[in-house]
């Protein structure tokens, strides 16, 4: 199975400050079709997860542009340009290239 | 508006069975791969299974292979997860998910809690 490793696992951030989360996969996520099926999700306490980013850098509908995704191959990053109170929760990376699709352990973002 | 409503969760003894259902609306159900994702209490996410539009292709994670079966009824816009030989480690919230890998289409249900305990 592809192992997804996130860092940090806990991220205290002051309001208005930027935040960055890294995710590394144990093998390349480039599919045979040339696409890289790598996503980011956000889960607020008590809520279902919501996908933010698909295929590395594409924002899902309704996701504010303060969220940006980047990377390639095995190393990926999610950046939040200015953290707001609504951004707290757990962020997960996920690969959908090779079955079983797998998630990272999650990064808990809280307001400092 | 897309709606995914799970049902069928509850408390079951180890070795027992449950059948989860997901009622879908607001989109053309037969046009999408559908999935089940679970989350143990206080833990991370695990993609359990997915099924192709016509049911001809299915994937299931090794931890439940041979015990869980994913299926769908396109005529009733419904997704199912038959769970047999349940174990304590299957205790989790189970989410019904409609998600495209390549397009901005991702929807998750509110989840249904399955508790396996004697």
- The count of CB pairs under 8 A between chains A and B is 51
Min distance B36 CA to chain A CA atoms (Å): 12
User: Residue A86 has what pLDDT?
Assistant: 97
CB within 8 Å: A105 and B62: no
Q: Assess contact for B60 and B38: CB atoms under 8 A.
A: no
Asked if A2 reaches chain B (Cβ–Cβ under 8 Å), the answer is no
Contact partners, residue B76, CB within 8 Å, separation at least 6: none
Which residues does chain A have within 8 Å of residue B50's beta carbon, measured at their own beta carbons?
101
User: Residue B98 has what pLDDT?
Assistant: 98
User: Residue B35 has what pLDDT?
Assistant: 98
User: Residue B12 has what pLDDT?
Assistant: 98
Residue pLDDT tens, chain A, 112 long: 999 999 999 999 999 999 999 999 999 999 999 999 999 999 999 999 999 999 999 999 999 999 999 999 999 999 999 999 999 999 999 999 999 999 999 999 999 9
Distance between CA atoms of residues B113 and B7, nearest Å = 9
Q: Say what the alpha-carbon torsion angle B5, B93, A59, A70 is, to the nearest 10 degrees.
A: -160
Residue pLDDT tens, chain B, 118 long: 999 999 999 999 999 999 999 999 999 999 999 999 999 999 999 999 999 999 999 999 999 999 999 999 999 999 999 999 999 999 999 999 999 999 999 999 999 999 999 9
- The H-or-E segment that residue B113 falls in is strand B112-116
Per DSSP, which regions of A1-112 are E strands? 4-7, 10-13, 19-25, 38-43, 50-54, 58-59, 67-72, 75-80, 89-95, 102-103, 107-111
CB within 8 Å: B47 and A101: yes
Q: What is the DSSP letter of B76?
A: G
User: Residue A101 has what pLDDT?
Assistant: 98
CB within 8 Å: B59 and A59: no
Asked if B21 reaches chain A (Cβ–Cβ under 8 Å), the answer is no
Asked if B85 reaches chain A (Cβ–Cβ under 8 Å), the answer is no
CB within 8 Å: A51 and B101: no
Asked if A48 reaches chain B (Cβ–Cβ under 8 Å), the answer is yes
């Amino acid at each position: 199975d592809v192992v997804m490793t996130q860092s940090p696992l806990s991220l205290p951030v002051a309001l208005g400050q930027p935040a960055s989360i890294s995710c590394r996969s144990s093998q390349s996520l480039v599919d045979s079709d040339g696409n890289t099926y790598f996503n980011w999700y956000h889960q607020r306490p008590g809520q279902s997860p919501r996908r933010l980013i698909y295929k590395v850098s594409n924002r899902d509908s309704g996701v504010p542009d303060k969220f940006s995704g980047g990377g390639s191959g095995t190393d990926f990053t999610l950046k939040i340009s200015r953290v707001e109170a609504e951004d707290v929760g757990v962020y997960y990376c996920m690969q959908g290239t090779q079955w079983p699709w797998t998630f990272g352990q999650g990064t808990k973002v809280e307001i400092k | 508006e897309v709606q995914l409503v799970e049902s069928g969760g509850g408390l079951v003894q180890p070795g027992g069975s449950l059948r989860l259902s997901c009622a879908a609306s607001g989109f053309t159900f037969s046009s999408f791969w559908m999935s089940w994702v679970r989350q143990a209490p206080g833990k991370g996410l695990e993609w359990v299974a997915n099924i192709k539009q016509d049911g001809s292709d299915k994937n299931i994670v090794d931890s439940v292979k041979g015990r869980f079966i994913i299926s769908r009824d396109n005529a009733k816009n419904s997704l199912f997860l038959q769970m047999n030989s349940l174990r304590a480690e299957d205790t989790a919230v189970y989410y019904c998910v409609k998600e495209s890998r390549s397009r901005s289409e991702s929807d998750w249900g509110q989840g249904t809690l399955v508790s396996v305990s004697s």
